[in-house]
Amino acid sequence: MLNSLNDFDSTEEIFVDTNIFLHHAFAANQNSIAFLKRAETRSLRLYTSTLVLEEMICKLMMQASSNFLDRVTTDHIKQFLQDEGNRQKIMEPVGKYLEYIRTLQSICLQVLDFSEKDMRDAVGMISLYGLMPAEAVHIAIMSRRKIRHLATGDRDFTVVEGITVWSPG
């Protein structure tokens, strides 16, 4: 089931997917921005994972790299990062956004680790629902923690039984 993220106003826990943070970071979706703003001022109970943070940092680095590189590929970014000055240029916006994440952690966000068992469970989720590995890990973590709500712009999660998907639209 898919619901509007604008309508989520629950005391229940909600897992926040990478794209919600990226929408906020890039000012790309007003509903995602408003959701995180509400989390800053209300008693929402947000959860995410170290995998989400890794995905987010990677995308932030790619975006920052696009300001300096004609072609943004992994190899070009790796080469660009060999220079300390370039690393600072790329990591500055990443560091700023991680400060925002730390602020959320002090208010309402808990970052969950994922385990080898989560990875094994994710393989089952891939087989059952046809999810990509990172998506399946998110569901495995949610399942372990009994989190039933997911904030995401990714409609692939609507096939997963037992969760409610909240979309920024």
Q: 63-80, pLDDT tens digit by residue? A: 999 999 999 999 999 999
pLDDT band at 81 (very low <50, low <70, confident <90, very high): very high
Distance CA 49, CA 141 (A): 8
Amino acid (1-letter code) at residue 14: I
Q: What is the largest CA-CA distance in the chain?
A: 48
DSSP for residue 151: E
pLDDT band at 1 (very low <50, low <70, confident <90, very high): low
In this prediction, residue 160 carries a pLDDT of 97
In this prediction, residue 43 carries a pLDDT of 78
In this prediction, residue 123 carries a pLDDT of 98
Instruction: Decide the pairing of beta strands 164-167 and 2-4.
Output: parallel
Adjacency order of strands within the sheet including 164-167: 2-4, 164-167, 149-151, 13-16, 45-49, 109-112
Span 33-47, average pLDDT: 92
More confident of the two residues 115 and 41: 115
Q: Provide Rg for the chain, Cα atoms.
A: 17
Cβ atoms within 10 Å, residue 14:
24
**The domain made up of 2-167 is a member of CATH 3.30.565.10:** no
